Structure formats: C-alpha cells, structure tokens
Structure 1
Amino acid sequence: MTRSPGIDDHSRALPEQPSPPPDGPASFPSAQPPARPVDVSYWQRRLTELAERHRVPGAVLGIARGAHDDVVAHGVLNRATGVTTTRDSLFQIGSITKVWTATLAMQLVDEGALDLDAPVAEVLPELRLADPRVARRVTMRHLLTHTSGIDGDVFTDTGRGDDCLERFVGRLDEAAQNHPLGATFSYCNSGFVLAGRVIEELTGMTWDRALRERLCDPLDLEHTVTLPEEALRFRTAVGHDSEGGGPPRPVPVWSLPRSTGPAGLITATAGDVLAFARLHLAGGTAPDGTRLLSEHSARAMARSQVELPDKDSLGDSWGLGWIRFGWDGRRLVGHNGNTLGQSAFLRVLPEQDLAVTLLTNGGAAKDLYQELFGEVFTELAGVAVPEPVRPPAVPVPVTARRYLGRYERAGTRIDILEGGDGLRLRHTTTGPLAHLVPDPVEETALVPVSDDRFLVRYTDSPSWIPVTFYSLPTGESYVHHGMRATPKAP
C-alpha cells in the first residue's frame, strides 16, 4: 500500500494470501479483440429466467462494448403498484457511487488542488476524530482505499440541508477508531463521506452539485440523480426485502440519509452507469473528446493500492475507489452497491473494452449476479468467472476456541459462540439500520476451511460468505466479515 510520509508501516498485519493474477491493462485497452455480438433476445430470456428463479422483483442488465450499449429489463419496480421495469428505469446504485466520488477526487489531483498523500486536515483544519493523531495524519489515499480505520458504518442523519456533510464530519469524533491508521483494510462508508466533504471544500460546491457539474453534465447523464425529489421525475425502483423466507415486499424507507451521499446515494439508469464506465475505459475522455480525467489518474485508480485480508468475498485488492478482480488470469475492476432493498453490480474488463452492469430491487440479487455474470463473461469475453466459495468436501478439524467472544463496531455486533456441533456466528445489526432490516439478528454455523478461515450461510441466500480471523503485530484481534474488520471486544 502506498503510504503518506510519517505513517507507521503496518503492511505486515495483513494475513498471507495467494498471489493475485498478474495485471492486465490497468485502465483501458490499447488494442481491442474482435467483439462477440450481443444477442439481445437471448440475454432478455436469461435475465427473465434467472431473476424469477432468484425472486428478484425487477432488474436491468446493461452490456457495453465500445460505444454501443445493449440494455434489457425484467419485472416490476414496485410490487405494490405493479409498475413495470424498463430500460430507462432508475435504480439506486449504492456504493458504486464511491467510484464516482473517487473520480471527482482524482480530477482535483489533476488540477493540483489535492495531494493524495497530504493530510486532509490541511483542507479541513477543523477535523476532529476519536484519535487526534489520525485526525492529523489521515490522507485522501487512506479514505479512497478504506484503510483509515475510522468506524465505517456510521449513518448519522444530519438533515436535508446543503450543510449535511459538514455537520456529519463535525460529529466524526463520535466514531471509534477501529484499527490503527493504515494497519489493515476495512470497508468504510464514513471515510467516503469525509472524502466528499474535502471535495466540497476544494470546489466550493455541495458534493451533489460537484458530481453534476464535473461528471454528469459533461457526460450527458440526464438520468443520474442524488436526491429523492430528483428521482421522482423518472421511472424509479423501490427496494424490496423478505422476512422469514416470504415473498419480497417494498421496504418502508426508500433512501439512506443525504449525508451518506458520497458513499452511496446515486440513483441512475443502467445506460448512465455504462457511460461512466466508458469514461474510464477511454482513459478519462468523454465521448465528445473532452478530457475529464487525466490518463495517468484513470490508470492510477485501477492500480493496486492494498491487498485484502479476505480474497473470496469480492476482489483480491483495492485501487483508488475501484475493487480489483482477478478472473481467469484477466484483470477487471468494478464495484458492488447495496442500499435499502436494492443491489447493483458493475464489472469492467479493460482489455476487451467491455463493461457489464446489473441493477436490482430485491430478492437474492447476489445469486442472480453470480449466475448471470458467469454466463455473460464466458459467452462474450471467453472469461470464466471464479466459482463461488464452498465448504471443503472433507471437514477440516480446527482448534478455534481462541476466537470465542464478542466483536463489535458501529452498526454490527458479532458473537462467536460454542454450539453442540461446533462454532456458531451470531450477527446482530445495531444502530439506525436495525429497524430497517427484516431480521436484525441472524445465527448460523461457522464451517471451517482452515484454522483461521471459515464460511457461513444465512437463511436468505444459498451463497457461502467468508469469515477470517487475524491479529495485528501489535496484538489486536479481528474478524473480517462482509469486507469489514471488526475488533474483538476487551
């Protein structure tokens, strides 16, 4: 990981993992192979068949190669109203927003207004965090790579005003410091809100306006919005959840607080998501030739910045905003997004000038993604998507009593318990999100893969999810689950 001067080196805290596949082109292709044609009617059938199998109420699949898009839609935007999903329907893209925020930051780097490795306190001298040393030293690079250690799932509602990010950051000293600065990777929504506040200070605009004027308008993204009153002008999806294995039903709250904007509040069509991906495939150039991002910055965003403690949940490493994936010896970038009952997926294969996105509003969206993208990338790119992780065929004996106990951070409490047939994991959603999820407490068996790596499977999905235990050289113990490092309680 690239570090700012004066930061202690904690890189050895990361558990050893197999080496990732070698990098392909870091940002965009130098030569394009012959494109395999897209059979739109076929992908329409497959989207419909698979979405129904996985009980996804509505979904849009978008495939872009070069300047051409193919978009197909299925289902309904709201099961309570029966409004059908169309190609131009808007969905919340959740944390894919983070790549847009990172792009805004890199524009400021190009302009000489921002140094990735300078303390953000130089821009925000009023910054206060739980650890004053971190407040003095944390950089934009830490924020964009989720290595700041700031408790990441803080969803404080600071109102609907244009000062909501400023007010949110003004209360960040209430958030715990979960790990030392730069010591490990832990997915951090709070850090991206802080990054958005830096963007506001440097541009003199709200994050919403900066996004519109610096990215959406130049790219002609007329169906990309950040506020509910903007989304109401269009055909817009409502999220759905399921309780106790029942059918999907509309969620009671449509959106997270405005203060979470830079971390996950963009609502867009599949076509607009593909247009944003095409900006990066083109090395930072808009379709009309306008340069919105330098070629150097476009490549830097896709370059590896930090290895992940768990390489089975998403990618093997992280760039500046982008998740990096090694599929079948090829290098891809992308991101996922999850909000209240909506899930979105974006994968970009630069060497074939290919981008694929899936927007959904409930059901087993992850399982739909895995099955559908496996087919899309095999058929169109000749690239095999890695098989989902599964328990070993032969049970692995482990001695894991040392992992028993409670692990806790904002929004989540994880208890590792001893059951009659081995270890169990009890996951409790806490804080503001607890009343917005159908089952705030879930308990399941921990299936060992090795002495420090396990798998769990929750009732709402057939997918297995990794759980990794590790410690820093300084002795602090963590469980890495859901891309977050959750510290063990004293």
Structure 2
Amino acid sequence: MPGRRFVEWQQRLDEMVRRHGVPGASLAVLADGDVSTAASGILNAGTGVTVTPDSVFQIGSITKIFTTTLVMRLVDEHRLDLDQKVSELLPELRLADPDALGRITVRHLLTHTSGIPGDHFVDTGRGDDAVTKYVETCADLGLVHPVGALMSYCNTGFVLAGRIVERLTGQAWREALRTRMLHPAGLRETVALPEEALRFRVAYGHDVDGDQPPKLVARWQLPASTAPAGSTLCATARDVVGMARVHLDGGLGVDGREVLTDASVAAMRTRSVQLHRGANAAGWGLGWALYDWNGRRAFGHDGGTIGQSSFLRVVPDAGVAIALLTNGGRAEDLYQELFQGLLAEFCDLALPPLPTPPDVPVTVDLTAYAGTYATIGRRVELTVEDRGLVARVSVTDALAEVVDQPVEEYVLVPVEKDLFLTRAADARSWTPVAFSTSEDGSRYAHLGLRALPKVS
C-alpha cells in the first residue's frame, strides 16, 4: 500500500474523530498482504496520553471469534463435535429447565440459538477457576426462547463454550488462547490480563455527553468470569486484522503453521442462522456475522465493553480486513463514515445505504406493540403517546452497575408492520427494532441482535 495513500487516511481519521466526539481511535487495514495503521486522539482524558498504533483497546465481543476458533481447533482434532450435547461436555452445568439443557448443542452456543439468557454477568473472581465458578451460577437461568427457535445474542453461551475449551484442553481459557491460537498465529499484541496490558499504552473507556468533555467511566473492565465472551481481551488494531488474516489465509498462522483447517475456516463463514428483518447482517455463521453487500460477501464482528467499541470487517474476495478500536463518543457513526470510504477505496465496494425512516409516515396499529419486554440485563417498556411509540429501555441486574445511564428513552418510527427505527438524540445512525411471533404465539422485541420476550 503506497505510504502517501494511507497518510491521507490518517488525516481523515483525525478529522472524523474530532467531529464524532470520539476521544481516541486506532485503525488497521490489511490490504495487498500488508498492514497499515493510523491512530488519533487520546487513550485517557485524565492523563492525556495519545493513541498510537501500539496502543491496546478492549476488543469486547470480537473475542467471540477467538473463542470460536479455539472450539473449531478442537473439532479439527476430533476431540469435539459441534452437534454434541453441552450437558455431556459439562455435566456440572444446570439450568432451570433440565429438558431444554439436554437439547442444547455446541453449535447452538456458537450461533446464539441456545435460548439461554445472554447477559448473565456475575463476578466470580479473576483466578484460573473464574469460568468454572461462573458455570455454577447458571442453575436458575430459564430460557428466553425455545432451543434453536430464534437467534438472541448470548454472551452466556460463549462463556460456556470457553469452559468447554478449558475442560478438553486442561488449560484455563486465557492460557489455551495463548498457546493454541495467539502464539501460532503470531499475535503478540493481544492480552487477557490487566498486568499483561500494562506492557502497552492502554485505552480507558469514556462517557461522552454531547459537546461536553469526555468523562472516564467508573470502572475499566468487566468481570474476568465472562472473558471467553469478551470482557477482558485487549489488543492492538494491528493484531485484530492479524487474526482476520488467519481466516483469510485458510487457517494458517505465521510460517505456515496451521491454526485451523480450511474446512473449519469455511464452516465458520457458512450461514447457520437467518436474522430478523432490519438486522444489519445477512445472517450468522459460527461466531462470524455474515454480510451481503451488493452481491459481495463479507464477514466481521463488533464489540463493546464499558465505554469502548470495536469494529472488524473482512472482504475475502479482496483480501482486505479493517479494524477500528475506539474508547467512547459516537463510535458507530465514526465506523459508518470511515468504513464507507475505506471499503470503497480498498475493495471497490459500496456499503448498502443506512436505513432511514420513510419519507411518507407509515400508519400501523401501535397498540399491538405496547407492553413490557424483558430478559436478564434488559427491560423495555413500550407505551403509545402523542409523539408515537415510546420505548423506555432499562439496563438491569449486574449490567446496571457499570453503565452511566441505566434508563434511556427513544421514539420508535414505523417502517412497516413489525419493523421500526430509532436512534439516540445525538446519533446519525438509525437502529432497527423488529417484532416477531413464535410458533407458540409468544411475542418478541428484537433490539439489535437480542430477542426480548413480552412479559406483560
């Protein structure tokens, strides 16, 4: 990649970071076999330390691709079958519905279709037994939906997948990650412990309220007990695209060492789940979100922790991977604008237009959607008011302790029957909210990728 070509992107990143109120950002682009980087802003509003390409950010749920890769390596070694029952692999696991537990497979965990509540966050310490102890806390969990009936984003399922890795390898998840993936893939700037992160310049999350100066979030990290789902892993943007390179190169790491077989790489990018209308992806594979952009296929994943957001997109026919790591502000808007330009230049690819409300208002029976929809971690109360269908979204349970605004209010704009759009007051991007009815008549609200059953 010509140097001058990317210097221009450094300048554009600087301008976009300022305009979108993002304290700091790190960008890496893999193209033509080479990685180019750019960085902008600050890592910490309290210290003023600047972002460099060597800075590590929390990558959140992009971690799920690392955990899926570990699971698929066990499949390659014939030590695990994706359709194996989780109860056979983790006999100590208990759920409130034993019959449902007996039907949940490893594949359900990796495709977010198990029905287990997805945001069961509990702190069981930071020792090597943190994930083991987490499994013991699941005994009272019911199901959000019948096994395999829907996709509902599930952090809990990926913690269980991480525990399966521990059981079969005899290693703590983070040690299995280091020896079985990071080392053979040549990823030296990805760490799972705070004391390891201290070897680098480290990003801290921020709350940004309009034009006010960014404010440090109350705590830096989520509990280590949910590490396999994305609570602790830190990396440079360069290492994130380095992980994507393994998946572009047929599962090969440094010096041609095999991390995964080509068959497992392909299986991860094969659609397993069809998403609800309005979702920002075309489907879901094993770990990966799958995209169909004007007939061209791509895959990727996003991540979010306390005040930090991450984005990864991979276009296999162009051999391009792009990673953006941020620490607050309107990160989604930055991602949309930045990736539009990068994908156009390096892949000759135009992203589909963002959804927007129809020019002519759509009339639907709003009372059909009123009510309360809830699961562990989230509660949504929908009421019909003069301004339309209003959603009061509450973050509940353990998650409420780590967010700055546990209750937020949005107006839902109808697009068609069972599909609405909404956005925060200071955001440019609209977010879809869909509704569905299951075969047994149960109603669900789909916020992002989470399915919330109607409870009243």
Provide the TM-score with structure 2 as the length reference. Answer: 0.97
Query: SS at 1:332's partner residue?
Result: strand
Does 2:386 match 1:386?
no
Does 2:249 match 1:282?
yes
Report the equivalent of 1:173. Answer: 139
| Structure 1 residue 174, shift from structure 2 partner | 2.3
Greater shift in the superposed pair: 344-353 or 458-467: 458-467
Does 2:266 match 1:299?
yes
Does 2:72 match 1:106?
yes
Query: SS at 2:287's partner residue?
Result: coil
Query: SS at 2:441's partner residue?
Result: coil
Specify whether residues 301 and 36 from structure 1 end up closer, same or farther in structure 2 by C-alpha distance, changes over 3 A only: farther
1:118 paired residue among 75, 79, 84: 84
What does 1:444-483 correspond to in 2, within 5 Å? Answer: 444-483=410-449
Cα distance in structure 1, aligned partners of 2:426 and 2:169: 43
Report the equivalent of 2:38. Answer: 72
What does 1:261-272 correspond to in 2, within 5 Å? Answer: 261-264=227-230, 265-272=232-239
Report the equivalent of 2:312. Answer: 346
Cα distance in structure 2, aligned partners of 1:175 and 1:45: 49
Cα distance in structure 1, aligned partners of 2:95 and 2:16: 46
| Structure 1 residue 230, shift from structure 2 partner | 1.2
Cα distance in structure 1, aligned partners of 2:151 and 2:84: 20
Is residue 61–residue 357 contact of structure 1 (8 Å, CA) maintained in 2?
yes
Letter in 1 for 2:254: P
Cα distance in structure 1, aligned partners of 2:4 and 2:251: 25
1:219 paired residue among 160, 185, 207: 185
- After superposition, the C-alpha distances for 1:370-409 in whole angstroms (9 at most, x for unaligned) are 0000000111111001111110010001113121110011
Report the equivalent of 2:219. Answer: 253
Letter in 1 for 2:247: H
Report the equivalent of 1:53. Answer: 19
Cα distance in structure 1, aligned partners of 2:202 and 2:282: 33
CA RMSD of superposed structures (Å): 1.4
2:171 paired residue among 192, 201, 205: 205
| Structure 1 residue 176, shift from structure 2 partner | 2.6
Report the equivalent of 1:29. Answer: none
Report the equivalent of 1:423. Answer: 389
| Structure 1 residue 274, shift from structure 2 partner | 1.1
Letter in 2 for 1:309: H
Query: SS at 1:446's partner residue?
Result: strand
Does 2:293 match 1:327?
yes
2:62 paired residue among 96, 104, 108: 96
Q: Which runs of 5+ in 1 are unaligned?
A: 1-34
Report the equivalent of 2:275. Answer: 308
| Structure 1 residue 244, shift from structure 2 partner | 6.5
> Percent of aligned positions with the same letter in both sequences?
51
Cα distance in structure 1, aligned partners of 2:384 and 2:437: 21
Greater shift in the superposed pair: 165-174 or 83-92: 165-174
Report the equivalent of 2:110. Answer: 144
Provide the TM-score with structure 1 as the length reference. Answer: 0.91
Specify whether residues 230 and 456 from structure 1 end up closer, same or farther in structure 2 by C-alpha distance, changes over 3 A only: same
Specify whether residues 261 and 222 from structure 1 end up closer, same or farther in structure 2 by C-alpha distance, changes over 3 A only: same
Letter in 2 for 1:89: S
- Relative contact order higher in (CA < 8 Å, ≥ 6 apart): 1
Is residue 310–residue 480 contact of structure 1 (8 Å, CA) maintained in 2?
no
Report the equivalent of 1:41. Answer: 7
Is residue 221–residue 306 contact of structure 2 (8 Å, CA) maintained in 1?
yes
Cα distance in structure 2, aligned partners of 1:319 and 1:348: 14
1:440 paired residue among 406, 416, 426: 406
Is residue 323–residue 335 contact of structure 1 (8 Å, CA) maintained in 2?
yes
| Structure 1 residue 66, shift from structure 2 partner | 4.2
Number of residues paired by the alignment? 455
Query: SS at 1:335's partner residue?
Result: strand
- After superposition, the C-alpha distances for 1:298-345 in whole angstroms (9 at most, x for unaligned) are 000001000101443x31100000000111211000000000000010
Report the equivalent of 2:204. Answer: 238
Letter in 2 for 1:472: S
Letter in 2 for 1:287: V
- After superposition, the C-alpha distances for 1:426-466 in whole angstroms (9 at most, x for unaligned) are 10111122132221111121100012111111234222111
Greater shift in the superposed pair: 169-178 or 407-416: 169-178
